[in-house]
Amino acid sequence: MNRFVDVAQGWLATCCWIGLTGLILPVPESSGVMAPKPSAAPPSNVLFIAIDDLNDWVGTLDTHPAARTPVLDRLAERGTTFLNAHCQAPLCNPSRSSVLLGLRPSTTGIYGLQPAMRAVKAWENHPTILQWFARHGYHTLAAGKVDHARFRGGSNPAGEVHETGPWGGPGEVFPATKHAGETPMGNNPWMDWGAHPHDETKKGDYQVAEWAAERLQTLPPGQPFFMALGFFLPHVPTYVTPEQLAAVPTEGVLPPVLADDRVDVPDFAWYLHWRLPEPRLRWMREHGQLQPYVRAYLASTTWIDGQIGRVLEALASAGFAENTLVVVWGDNGMHFGEKGVTGKNTLWERSTRVPLLVAGPGVARGGRVAVPVELLDLYPTLADLAGLQEDLPPLEGITLRPQLEDATTPRQRPALTTANPGNHAVRSERYRYIRYADGAEEFYDHLTDPHEWRNLAGDPAVAALMVDHRRWLPTRDAPHVADHGGRTLEYDPDTGIVKWEGEVVPAGSPVPE
């Protein structure tokens, strides 16, 4: 079997991946033109938009040829785009907890879908970014999936945010039976995608956008606001209308996949995504579902882009376009067959790279930042841009203000992603280093290998580089907090015992699929 046989099924142009290679992209001439400093103007409002499971298939990132996101692309033109932004955990709850608390999973001990951050005693009173702005006179609002648990799980959910809107989610658009048929590893009812006629106003995301647009017209006068919106799509189930699906090409949409890409990957990597609702590549191909899955994802992304457009139009018509910081971020990436899996829960680029766009007062127009940054940086960044950086609680991110003012400003440290205790990826401008809890390692050179097909760990030529990356591993590997669950992995280095979601995985067990 030709090792590269599958490559032809993906698209060809390696130049599409230039944003991943560590090359400095040409900066448009408008870069560096500053809006007035916030300190010289009334406080900036904040519109903080999370998109669930949106990977880097965004038009302006030039990563997928069929990605259509005109609203985000226009936002990128009037703001700054981070081309090398990474989540701190490749999963909703730990990623969002990290963003909102400004702390790493390896510090909080929150690695799984449970517990909610406020159910953890140690973090019960750590102010979220919303609470920080509320303390400084902002009116705070949240709708949709911002915190994975929708700010429940603590002793004072009412104290989290001044106003909450609709919870969002998939809404009432489920077909009578799943398009994808019975999916493996549990036949999760949400593990579905495809097209059928439905009323888009029944979608949770439509209702979130509707609520946001309405609230922007009626906010308390004279008070700055921090509005956090969490859009659910393109998280599964990715239901679209036949018209929306028809707008996505049928050819050339599958990402490049190397046939035996895992032969040089440590076996331990499988434990990070041991038993998931997301089917493996093999099932997707055998059931003819990979292309429908990808197309529904792309169509859903375009639809969500339109919902963000509705909110931005409302922002403008309410007169807030000039004095509002707009931030758009994805909580984790997504695989569509790369390295044999779909979904997230990996430490590779497909799971960790996320879109991150910032526009508004103090942000350069058209900036394209190539240095690695972390979603964790958002809390100190927004506090800095709004002039609220005095006496911040202990935070582990670093303000991105220098890069937002001048995209070519260097950064001293790489981005770190953690998937359960002791498993980390270090992404520098050019390389990715991975270390698993059992000590196994990977090392990739994005300049020559943007798809991470050749694990260089063990090659003497990169030994010094690996040493250099290893020093960025966190000094603290917090154990799981109590009552953890949902995609949690435990590993005992003394006995070699592995537990997935609390159950021992017997040595030599076949990989579930």
Residue type, 292: P
CB of 425 to Ca ion, least distance (A): 17
Cβ-Cβ contacts under 8 Å for 95 (sequence gap 6 or more):
87, 88, 89, 331, 332, 375
Structure tokens given for 464 = 């010094």
CA distance 344 to 336: 9
Of the candidates 86, 139, 148, 235, the residue annotated as catalytic is 148
d(CA 309, CA 279): 32
Closest CA to 341 of 394, 396, 282: 282
CA–CA dist 148, 300 (Å, integer): 20
Cβ distance 329 to 356 under 8 Å? yes
Tell me the closest approach of the beta carbon of residue 208 to Ca ion, in angstroms: 16
Strand, helix or coil at 81?
strand
Q: Are 362 and 35 in contact (CB under 8 A)?
A: yes
8 Å CB contact between 366 and 28: yes
Residue nearest to Ca ion (CB): 92
Choose between 76 and 334: whose C-beta lies nearer to Ca ion.
334
Q: Which is nearer to Ca ion, 331 or 384 (CB)?
A: 331
**75 vs 236, beta carbon nearer Ca ion:** 236
**Burial profile 332-348: b = 16 or more Cβ within 10 angstroms, e = fewer:** bbbbbbbbbbbbbbbbb
Question: In the complex with Ca ion, which residue's Cβ is closer, 57 or 133?
Answer: 57
**Minimum distance, C-beta of residue 296 to Ca ion, in the bound complex (Å):** 16
- Indicate the residue among 53 and 56 with the shorter CB distance to Ca ion: 53
- Residue 139 bears catalytic tag: no
Which residue of the set 64, 87, 92, 469 is catalytic? Answer: 92
Minimum gap (Å) between residue 97 Cβ and Ca ion:
12
Smallest gap, in angstroms, from Cβ of residue 235 to Ca ion?
A: 6
Q: Judge whether 92 counts as a catalytic residue.
A: yes
Hey, which bits of 9-135 come out as E strands? 45-51, 79-82, 85-86
Our CB check for Ca ion shows the closer of 183 and 332 to be 332
Q: What is the CA radius of gyration of the chain?
A: 22
**Interacting residue ranges for Ca ion, rule: CB under 5 A:** 52-53, 92, 331-332
Q: Supply the minimum distance, in Å, between the C-beta of residue 145 and Ca ion.
A: 8
| Catalytically active residues, by annotation | 92, 148
